[in-house]
Amino acid sequence: MRVAVIGTGYVGLTTAVSLAMNGHDVLGIDLVEAKIVQLQKGKSPIYEPGLEEALALVLKRGNLEFTTNIADAREAEILFVCVGTPESADGTADLSYVYAAASDVEALHRSAPRKRVVVIKSTVPVGTGDRIAEKLRELDGLHVVSNPEFLREGNALEDALHPSRIVIGTAHEAAAETMEQLYQGVNAPRVATTRANAELIKYASNAFLATRISFMNELARLSGALGTDIVTVALGMGLDSRIGPEFLRAGVGYGGSCFPKDTIALLQLAHQNGISMSILEKVREVNATQPIWFLEQLHKRQGNVAGKKIAVLGLAFKPETDDIREAPSLKILEALQNAGATVAAYDPIAAQVVRPLFPQVEYVGNPAEAFKGAHAALLITEWKECIHLDWEAIKSDMAVPLLLDGRNAWPSQSLKDAGFDYTGVGRS
């Protein structure tokens, strides 16, 4: 099928590449000319494992092209809207890019009418798809579908090619059939529903996952006070088939582009409709305070950190991405600098993105350099390079062998046995 994807950010680029890999002829559209030039050369503007290699492959095959001009999509049967919906000052989703894309689609369809499906893949508040459909209702042959994405950063291409489910929101039979044709051969459960239901499925999914994380982080604080081990507790919980093991890992909090903005957007939507969502409000409160709670564990053991070297391992909000949006590391770097600490940081991908924000931090080329002379080391992102280390050499290099494991990823017992002062998140 002939497909156009409006927006070549994280979701748009992954969507375009995955559809091209599945044999469709795809046109990626973006207003930023420099980005389009970069993509035409096979260079991805974002880091995502396997994405750049797949991009080069489909470009070579001729399944994927890029342009800044939406008029080039006149032959497209399906138009995906994959633009950003950032958080506004009041916490609501900023839909200006979505409505601008809808206006571009309207202009395209008026100049080159044909049967088309407009697919809203951007995360939008409930009712947005219906409002766009109303805006475009006078255009014959044009139908609006909600088809939310469920991509995990660091695993996005795999999720796009092998999705956990495909949600298709539309009341129009022909549009639904077009979407089934698009996803023919993709083995995943289908949910056929309304646009509003599809939109709420996306928000509800992210809010529930965020809730699991914050629940475990709050439970980890209690576990630390009780002297119990949150890792073992999570294992026992996860074996219950009603709960499952996913998103039960305690840590320094969630970040990224989805959970923070989607939880606040859902809260604002609830408030606008006179509904209280106190659980979700607590989720956000726990997440906001978790990095501060983690640093309190450092101060309990190290006291005043002014003039002391602190190693920070990992800056991205999770491994296998360069995304630092709402990353816990940013709060931690700021707090350490405000406390007068000297910070040495390592991240294999995200350091170059963080450097302009914290130019006074020393950014080192490998984890071992960060530990040298350090009075404490904090694991913030569990990159494999930050976990599999020569601990004997590290112990001799550190000024004080104090380790704070913000992801419960270091080998706690063997480190204690080796003479390290080890502290995890809610670990005995």
Mean of per-residue pLDDT scores for the chain: 96
User: What ranges do the domains of the chain cover?
Assistant: 2-193, 207-423
Q: What is the pTM of this model?
A: 0.93
Instruction: Evaluate whether 252 touches 108 at the Cβ level (below 8 Å).
Output: no
Instruction: Name the residue among 47, 199, 61 with its Cα closest to residue 123.
Output: 199
Strand partners, 348: none
Catalytic sites, residue numbers:
258
Mean pLDDT calculated for residue range 240-265: 95
Q: Report, at the CATH architecture level, how domain 207-423 is classified.
A: 3-Layer(aba) Sandwich (3.40)
Q: So what's the pLDDT on residue 388?
A: 94
Mean pLDDT calculated for residue range 296-305: 93
Q: So what's the pLDDT on residue 428?
A: 76
Q: Where are the beta strands (DSSP E) in 170-308?
A: 190-193
| Phi-psi map region of 55: left, alpha, beta (phi>0 left; psi -120 to 50 alpha) | alpha
pLDDT for 6 beyond 80: yes
Q: Alpha carbon of 351 to those of 156, 271, 362, 403, 406: distances in Å? A: 21, 38, 10, 21, 18
φ, ψ (nearest 5 deg) of residue 263: -70, -40
**What are the pLDDT digits (tens) for 342-389?**
999 999 999 999 999 999 999 999 999 999 999 999 999 999 999 999
Instruction: Name the residue among 9, 292, 318 with its Cα closest to residue 152.
Output: 318
Mean pLDDT calculated for residue range 74-85: 97
Strand partners, 403: 377, 422
pLDDT band with cut points at 50, 70 and 90 for residue 240: very high
pLDDT band with cut points at 50, 70 and 90 for residue 228: very high
pLDDT band with cut points at 50, 70 and 90 for residue 416: very high
Instruction: Name the residue among 25, 234, 29, 203 with its Cα closest to residue 124.
Output: 203
Mean pLDDT calculated for residue range 113-125: 96
pLDDT for 183 beyond 90: yes
Q: So what's the pLDDT on residue 329?
A: 97
Mean pLDDT calculated for residue range 106-122: 96
2-193 and 207-423: same fold?
A: yes
**2-193: CATH, from 3.40.190.10, 2.40.50.140, 3.40.50.720, 3.30.1340.30:** 3.40.50.720
pLDDT band with cut points at 50, 70 and 90 for residue 280: very high
Cβ neighbours of residue 193 closer than 8 Å, sequence gap 6 or more: 167, 168, 169, 201
**What are the pLDDT digits (tens) for 13-66?**
999 999 999 999 999 999 999 999 999 999 999 999 999 999 999 999 999 999
Q: So what's the pLDDT on residue 257?
A: 85
Mean pLDDT calculated for residue range 79-91: 95
